């Protein structure tokens, strides 16, 4: 069975991609999936060359045929998403608000509304120096990013199974909404990257709640742990009281920033304290899933 490890966090900017990129360097025979489809960044560290390209259709949008519309506004009354307004006595759809449910089409007495498939994004299979990578790009403002995340994960799992690779490493979407839920659904393990800040601790609690709700096995990594030692202690206390395992701590290290600015993983810096800590985390994971 393929081990699927998802790197997640309750808030953005905690260091998911940094950790994912570094772990990708350490695992052998790994497939990488960038599931942060709203703001993918992992390709900036792994420099993939695209081999296959797929269109992603996330859903539909309503369109009005103006010649048929008589401006009765029945559609606008029924739309639950405030997506329809009357402009010059014709219904007009706000594409950003439309969720493509089709209620307007259903109630229109003049048959003036059609639902169109929309191209919501693309996803790619690529080659990198650490192994195959699946990544995507959602068109800004598109809905249903959870569904695209599921597509990316399915493709990555397919590749791993075909090549008999033991690990899929998933760089997740932040938060607890649909792309985050889709990132962790069915994974073997979730690695939560927490930051020792007041807001970071708050968001850690939220994602722990989500992972419990979805019954996932998970552990916590404290990133930039030396930035605020009292808050790092608070994370330890919280994890102890909630019986959550802390997998490792990554100290604040300016080399992480330097490597990122160079578009490289921090692992290129042998002397880096962060790289050393990530190696330890990698060993814990190897042991946990009998990958030695």
Partner 1 sequence: MNYSFEEKVHIPKPRVNNDVCVKCGECSEICQFGAINVFKNGVMIFKSLCHGCGACALICPVNAIKEIPEDMGIVKRGDARCGSLKVGMGYLNVGEPSGVVLIKRLKKWMSDEDDVVILDAPPGTSCPVVETLRNTDFALIVAENSPFGLHDLKMVLEMVDEMNIKRGLILNKHTDTYEGVEKYAVDNGIPILMRIPFDMEIASLYSRGILFASRYPQWKAEFERMFSTLGEMTGWLSR
DSSP 140-199: TT-S-HHHHHHHHHHHHHHHHHHHT-SEEEEEPPSSSSHHHHHHHTT-SEEEEEE-SSHH
Minimum distance, C-beta of residue 17 to partner 1, in the bound complex (Å): 7
Based on the shown chain and the rule CB under 8 A, indicate whether residue 150 belongs to the binding site for partner 1. no
Q: Helix, strand, coil % (nearest 5) of the chain? A: 40, 30, 35
Closer to partner 1 by CB, 131 or 200: give it: 200
Cβ-Cβ contacts under 8 Å for 108 (sequence gap 6 or more): 74, 75
Under the binding rule (CB under 8 A), the answer on residue 34 touching partner 1 is no
- The secondary element (H helix, E strand) that includes residue 31 is strand 30-34
Does the footprint of partner 1 cover residue 38 (CB under 8 A)?
A: yes
Strand-pair partners of 168: 4, 31
Q: Which residues contact 283 (CB under 8 A, 6 or more apart)?
A: none
Backbone angles phi, psi at 95, to 5 degrees: -60, -35
Nearer to partner 1, 188 or 197 (CB): 197
Q: Does 246 bind partner 1 (CB under 8 A)?
A: no
* Residues 34/171, Cβ–Cβ less than 8 Å: yes
Whether the Cβ atoms of residue 176 and residue 151 lie closer than 8 Å to each other: no
Q: Is 291 in the site for partner 1 (CB under 8 A)?
A: no
C-beta of 82 vs 217, nearer to partner 1: 82
- Side-chain half-sphere exposure of 29, counting CA atoms within 13 A: 13
User: Going residue by residue from 204 to 233, which x/- string records binding to partner 1, judged by CB under 8 A?
Assistant: --x--xx--xx------------xx--x--
Alpha-carbon dihedral angle through residues 136, 7, 282, 152, given to the nearest 10 degrees: -30
Q: Is 176 in the site for partner 1 (CB under 8 A)?
A: yes
Site map for partner 1, 185-204, x if CB under 8 A? Answer: ----------xxxxxx----
Would you say 17 or 126 has its CB closer to partner 1? 17
Query: Between 39 and 119, whose beta carbon lies closer to partner 1?
Result: 39
> What is the pairing mode between strands 167-171 and 113-128?
unpaired
Smallest distance from partner 1 to CB 170, Å? 17
Q: How far is CA 182 from CA 28, 102, 174, 177, in A?
A: 25, 24, 11, 9
Binding flag, residue 57, partner 1 (CB under 8 A): no
148 three-class SS? helix
CB of 29 to partner 1, least distance (A): 27
Q: Which of 1, 49, 80, 290: binder of partner 1 (CB under 8 A)?
A: 80
Interface stretch with partner 1, choices 34-42, 84-92, 159-167, 282-290 (CB under 8 A): 34-42
Smallest distance, partner 1 to C-beta of residue 1, A: 26
Scanning 49-57, 136-144, 156-164, 277-285 for contacts with partner 1 by CB under 8 A, the matching segment is 136-144
Residues found near partner 1 in the complex (CB under 8 A): 12-13, 17, 36, 38-41, 44, 59-60, 78, 80-82, 94, 96-97, 99-103, 106-107, 115, 138, 140-143, 145-146, 173-179, 181, 195-200, 206, 209-210, 213-214, 227-228, 231, 257-258, 260-261, 263
């Amino acid at each position: 069975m393929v081990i699927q490890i998802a790197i997640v966090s309750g808030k953005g900017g905690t260091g998911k991609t940094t950790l994912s990129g570094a772990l990708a360097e350490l695992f052998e025979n790994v497939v990488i999936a960038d599931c942060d489809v709203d703001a993918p960044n992992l390709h900036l560290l792994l420099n993939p060359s695209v081999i296959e390209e797929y269109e992603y259709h996330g859903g539909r949008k309503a369109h009005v045929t103006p010649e048929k519309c008589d401006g009765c506004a029945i559609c606008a009354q029924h739309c639950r998403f405030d997506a329809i307004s009357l402009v010059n006595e014709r219904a007009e759809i706000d594409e950003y608000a439309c969720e493509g449910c089709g209620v307007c089409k259903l109630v229109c007495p003049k048959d003036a509304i059609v639902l169109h498939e929309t191209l919501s994004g693309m996803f790619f299979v690529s080659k990198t120096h650490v192994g195959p990578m699946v990544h995507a790009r959602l068109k800004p403002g598109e809905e249903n990013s959870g569904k695209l995340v599921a597509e990316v994960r399915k493709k990555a799992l397919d590749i791993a199974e075909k090549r008999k690779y033991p690990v899929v490493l998933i760089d997740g979407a932040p938060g607890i909404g649909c792309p985050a839920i889709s990132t962790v659904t069915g994974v073997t393990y979730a690695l939560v990257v927490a930051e020792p800040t007041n807001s970071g601790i708050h968001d850690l609690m939220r994602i722990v709640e989500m992972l419990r709700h979805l019954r996932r096995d998970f552990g916590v990594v404290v990133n930039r742990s030396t930035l605020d030692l009292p808050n790092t202690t608070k994370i330890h206390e919280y994890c102890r009281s909630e019986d959550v395992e802390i997998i490792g701590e990554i100290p604040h290290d300016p080399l992480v920033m330097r490597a990122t600015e160079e578009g490289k993983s921090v692992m290129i810096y042998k002397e880096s304290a962060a790289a050393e800590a990530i190696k330890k985390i990698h060993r814990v994971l190897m042991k946990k899933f009998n990958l030695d």
